[in-house]
Amino acid sequence: MARSNEVNLNECKMVVPLNTWVLISNFKLAYNLLRRPDGTFNRHLAEFLDRKVPANANPVDGVFSFDVLIDRGTSLLSRIYRPATAEEPQLNVAGLEKPVTAEVVPVIIFFHGGSFAHSSANSAIYDTLCRRLVGLCKAVVVSVNYRRAPENRYPCAYDDGWTALKWVNSRPWLQSQKDSKVHIYLAGDSSGGNIVHHVALIAMESGIDVLGNILLNPMFGGQERTESEQRLDGKYFVTLRDRDWYWRAYLPEGEDRDHHACNPFGPNGRSLEGIKFPKSLVVVAGLDLIQDWQLAYVDGLKKAGQEVKLLYMEQATIGFYLLPNNNHFHTVMDEISKFVVSDC
């Protein structure tokens, strides 16, 4: 057993830069400690270990941020990231919600990853990623600190996403000059990608337009064990066992992985045919064991006549977008910036 682990570790190290390997391996081992076999989660230790950063109303590299309490009842916070302008070097609290000035300003509502259980909007890895998106897309980014499993199961994360979306949509200061509307994009990685899909659905059904969905290594699954799951189990940081744990933690008790939250185009899913749905950019890492589900998701969208672009990054593992030290990162960032264009 030790032997096969050795092989796995070496393979893994060959495909990512060493510091990336250190980062993701560290998460992997720490996360192993946090998940308990009985399905509970060591939240205190998780919060202790998570590296967080405060919001910063002082611009750093052209971006400043501040937190907003969107819903007091659920303590729903979001972190807003905005580009700093030359005219406003020092912003006071009244200036933080100053109206956007450009003709068209994309507002990206971001849902961080963590398999529904880990991380927060103020986790350093996600604060960094969101800051990048601001410059990349000339956008305002709203990172939602949604409630996490297992303390808060389905549909809490989706509810929080929907609450945040309604809030964003109703901010006068986020309206683009061109049409006095908020130009909304949804983006997320891992569980955040899953949330993107479901919140987009709610939005479109409620008449709020979402201009585009960006799903980075989105978390989907199903009861069946797919070929990629079997082939890649335990090879590149992720195991089927931990995937199962997270679904058990998020889905309602007693539900299996064919629940529509997990498997939107599965036996309990629904067709999106004829439904107005945003165009989607779906990024799949070739070394992610759940890729078969992600590819099935893309297929499901296509079959329903929805606009979708698939970016299949063959040699990429999970988390490749956390550090700017590999080609996949740059390719994907380019595609995202093209996807979120200041048109329409």
Partner 1 sequence: MKRDNNHLQHNPSSSLCGGSSAGKAKLWEEEAAQQDCGMDELLAVLGYKVKTSDMAEVAQKLEQLEEVMCIAQDDGISHLASETVHFNPSDLSTWLESMLSEFNPPSSFDPFGAAGTTAGVMGTLDDPFVGGPAESSTLTTLDIENNNRKHQKRGPHILDEASCSDYDLKAIPGKAIYSQDTQTQPQTHDSSSSSTHNNNVKSEKRLKSTSGSHSGIFSPPPPAAVSSGIPTDSVRPVVLVDSQENGIRLVHALMACAEAVQQNNLNLAEALVKQIGFLAISQAGAMRKVATYFAEALARRIYRLYTQNPLDHSLSDVLHMHFYEACPYLKFAHFTANQAILEAFEGKKRVHVIDFSMNQGMQWPALMQALALRAGGPPAFRLTGIGPPSHDNSDHLQEVGWKLAQLAEKIHVEFEYRGFVANSLADLDASMLDLRPSEVEAVAVNSVFELHKLLAWPGAIDKVFSVVKQMKPEIVTIVEQEANHNGLVFLDRFTEALHYYSTLFDSLEGSVSCQDKVMSEVYLGKQICNVVACEGADRVERHESLTQWRNRFGSAGFSPVHLGSNAFKQASMLLALFNGGEGYGVEENNGCLMLGWHNRPLITTSAWKPAIETTATSTITN
CB of 138 to partner 1, least distance (A): 20
The residues, any chain, with a CB within 8 Å of residue 197's CB and separated by 6 or more, are: 213, 215, 218, 264, 297
Under rule CB under 8 A, residue 54 binds partner 1: yes
Cis peptide before 150 (omega within 30 of 0): yes
Q: In the bound complex, what is the minimum distance in angstroms from residue 130's beta carbon to partner 1?
A: 13
Angle at 145 between CA 142 and CA 147, to 5 degrees: 145
Q: Specify the residue, 80 or 261, whose C-beta has the smaller distance to partner 1.
A: 80
Site for partner 1 in 322-341 (CB under 8 A): 322-330
* CB 197 within 8 Å of CB 158: no
Q: Which CB, 21 or 312, lies closer to partner 1?
A: 21
Nearer to partner 1 among residue 69 and residue 275 (C-beta): 69
Taking the complex as a whole, the smallest distance from the CB of residue 97 to partner 1 amounts, in Å, to 7
Rounded Cα–Cα distance for residues 36 and 38 (Å):
5
242 exposed, middle or buried (CB, 10 Å; 0-12, 13-18, 19+)? middle
- Residue 144 binds partner 1, judged by CB under 8 A: no
Distance of CA 185 to the CA centre of its chain: 12
Nearer to partner 1 by Cβ, of 226 and 331: the residue is: 331
Of 115, 120, 176, 190, catalytic:
190
DSSP string over 83-107: E--TT-SS--TTTTTPPP-SS--EE
Does the protein bind partner 1 through residue 86 (CB under 8 A)? no
Nearer to partner 1, 122 or 280 (CB): 122
Q: Residue from 63, 109, 125, 333 that binds partner 1 (CB under 8 A)?
A: 125
DSSP string, 149-191: TTTS-TTHHHHHHHHHHHHHHT-GGG--TTTSS-EEEEEEETH
CA angle 14, 19, 21 (to 5 degrees): 45
Residues 272-291, mask of contacts with partner 1 (x by CB under 8 A): --------------------
Distance in Å, CB of 240 to partner 1, minimum: 15
Site residues for partner 1, 204-243, by CB under 8 A, read none
Supply φ then ψ for residue 205, to 5 degrees: -65, -25
Stretch that binds partner 1, among 71-79, 187-195, 242-250, 254-262 (CB under 8 A): 71-79
Sole window of 154-162, 245-253, 268-276, 316-324 interacting with partner 1 (rule: CB under 8 A): 316-324
- Among 115, 143, 145, 169, contact with partner 1 (rule: CB under 8 A): 145
Please tell me the count of residues contacting partner 1 according to CB under 8 A.
70
Measured CA distances, 23 to 1, 188, 235, 329 (Å):
24, 20, 16, 15
CB of 72 to partner 1, least distance (A): 8
Cis peptide before 155 (omega within 30 of 0): yes
Nearer to partner 1, 1 or 274 (CB): 1
Q: Could you tell me which residues come within 8 angstroms of residue 153 by beta carbon, excluding any fewer than 6 positions away? A: 249, 250, 251, 252, 253
Nearest distance, CB of residue 61 and partner 1, angstroms: 9
φ and ψ of 145, to 5 deg: -90, 65
Residue 136 binds to partner 1 (criterion: CB under 8 A): no
The smaller minimum CB distance to partner 1, of residues 25 and 226, is found at: 25
Alpha-carbon distance 239 to 2, whole Å?
Answer: 16
Query: Is 119 one of the catalytic residues?
Result: no
The three-point CA angle 296-300-303 to 5° equals 130
Contact, 313 vs 248, CB < 8 A? no
Residues that bind partner 1 (CB under 8 A): 1-2, 5, 9, 13-23, 25-26, 28-30, 32-34, 36-38, 40, 42, 44-45, 47-49, 51-58, 60, 66-69, 72, 75, 77, 79, 90, 92-94, 96-97, 122, 124-125, 128, 145, 322-330
- Tell me the catalytic residues: 190
